[in-house]
Amino acid sequence: MQAVELNSTAATEKLIIDAVSASADRLIEMSRQLIGAASPNPPGDVTQVADAAEALLRAIPGMTIERVVAAPGIVNLIGRLAAHRPGRRLVFNGHLDTFPIGEDLGWTVPPLGGVVKDGLLFGRGVSDMKGGIAASILAASILGAHRDAWRGEIVVTLAGDEESMGALGTRHLLEHHPQARGDAMISGDVGSPMVVRFGEKGLLWVEIEAEGKPAHGAHVHKGINAIDRLREALDVLKQLESLQADEPPMVVAAIEAAKAISEPLSGAGESEVLRKVTVNIGVIEGGVSPNLVPTHAIARADIRLPVGLNTGDIEARLRQQLAKIPGVKMRVVQKYEPNFTAPSHEIMTTVAGAAQEILGAKPAINMRVGASDARLYRLFGVPSVVFGPTPYNMGGPDEHVSLDELLAVTKVHALAGFRFLQEKSGAS
């Protein structure tokens, strides 16, 4: 009996993978429909692309859809597809908003045209992350055709607000709609098919403001230079980069093991950056003329924290040090904690195993430098993995993805989803 079940499972897996292969043109068309519905953030109105995504979900037999409007123009979708037997709930999550279209950036193709050429698919948001959304929806659709072969429920959550940190998107769904949660989550956000991402650094955005006393530039003894005070404050900020994190050994081991595969894809130095505090001073403003002592200066910085540090301790440290500098004050603009799913967790090994079969090479399992909504799922106790296509020119002109990669991502989502939903136990 067990051998028969194993043979049946293997046969179904082949049917699923073959179905994805046969749906390559459908995958392109789904992606093009999403690309063609502009959803730049700012301003953040995703109504058109939500309508397009909802139509794609409604085409799946048995799929029920809930439309959640968190604010004017901020539309979120929850699609649910149940098997014939109870079991676990697997979530596919994506975000509908994109970077600004940037028509003036020098595009060589129409940014909303979904142009296909040389094995590439072009368009604003195709990598971040309309291609990944199409991959997840197609995977759900194909799994839906085999509902007698798996247990539980597939949920597709599409968030209308991610580029501005997700308060009205994924976080809103997780806070107010329990059906958006699950036993595990797969996101098709950007990355690389050769790297399965299990966690993300934390973030602390701060604004530091300095006040001075006016005087003529030739009479500096009569004034107080706000920029000098700000420079001293920024030195304090940069000193954070020397802090050491109390890193969990499993995270350290995974980052180091992934280095040989991940760094050639994501850039030399990625492993070091994943394990240290980084401070990017992105904005500095102050003064009105070279011959006047500036009375006001301001800087805005992006601080990223590795696993093993927390925003509360960093903020307290900064406030203590900055309090020693007269005329300086700090405001926290945005923050969230680093988090991760254990690299050995079932959803990680399931996705990694599926990727190895589809790609014919063993992928790395690594942290993610940038943010995604996977961090929000983890905050709500849902083990989460990011597995998506490589982004090319993300946010710039001629943003594109490889069609071969997009098809491979779809196969991995479908195969990993099928395998995860083989188990009987679950919360759905």
DSSP 390: P
**Distant-in-sequence, close-in-space partners of 310: CB < 8 Å, separation ≥ 6:** 202, 337, 338
356-381: pLDDT as tens digits:
999 999 999 999 998 999 999 999 99
Q: Contact, 127 vs 391, CB < 8 A?
A: yes
How do residues 317-359 score in pLDDT, each as one tens digit?
A: 999 999 999 999 999 999 999 999 999 999 999 999 999 999 9
- The tens digit of pLDDT for each residue in 220-248 reads 999 999 999 999 999 999 999 999 999 99
pLDDT over 50 at 75, yes or no: yes
Q: Average the pLDDT over 72-81 and give the result.
A: 98
Is the pLDDT score of 3 beyond 90? no
Of 29-33, 160-164, 172-176, 227-231, the poorest mean pLDDT is in 160-164
The percent of residues in the chain predicted with pLDDT above 70, rounded, is: 97
Phi then psi for residue 115, to 5 deg, are -70, 135
Domains and CATH numbers, the chain: 2-200+339-420 (3.40.630.10), 202-336 (3.30.70.360)
> Of all helices (H) and strands (E), which one includes residue 425?
none
Mean pLDDT of 161-184: 93
What's the mean per-residue pLDDT of the chain?
A: 96
Per residue, the 3-state secondary structure of 45-103, as one string, reads CCHHHHHHHHHHHHCCCCCEEEEEEEECCEEEEEEEEECCCCCCEEEEEEECCECCCCH
User: Is the pLDDT assigned to residue 76 strictly greater than 90?
Assistant: yes
Rg over alpha carbons for the chain, rounded to the nearest Å, is: 24
Express each pLDDT in 275-302 by its tens digit.
Answer: 999 999 999 999 999 999 999 999 999 9
- What's residue 5's pLDDT? 62
Q: What is the pTM of this model?
A: 0.94
CA–CA dist 266, 403 (Å, integer)? 20
How confident is residue 156, by pLDDT bands cut at 50, 70 and 90? Answer: very high
pLDDT of residue 1: 46
Distances (CA, A) of 71 to 41, 42, 98, 140: 14, 14, 17, 28
Strands 364-368 and 195-200: parallel
Q: Which residues on neighbouring strands pair with residue 401, listed in sequence order?
A: 121
- Band of residue 6 on the pLDDT scale cut at 50, 70, 90: low
pLDDT given for residue 103 in this prediction: 95
Q: What is the DSSP string of 248-304?
A: -HHHHHHHHHHHHHHHHHH-TTHHHHHTS-EEEEEEEEE-S-TTB--SEEEEEEEEE
pLDDT-based confidence at residue 164 (cuts at 50, 70, 90) = confident
SS3 state at 80: strand
pLDDT for res 44:
95
Q: Which residues pair with 210 in a beta bridge?
A: 297, 328
Give pLDDT, residue 109: 98
Report the pLDDT value the prediction gives residue 265, as an integer from 0 to 100: 93
- The 10s digit of each residue's pLDDT in 39-54 is 999 999 999 999 999 9
Given pLDDT bands bounded at 50, 70 and 90, which one contains residue 424?
A: low
The pLDDT assigned to 428 comes to 41
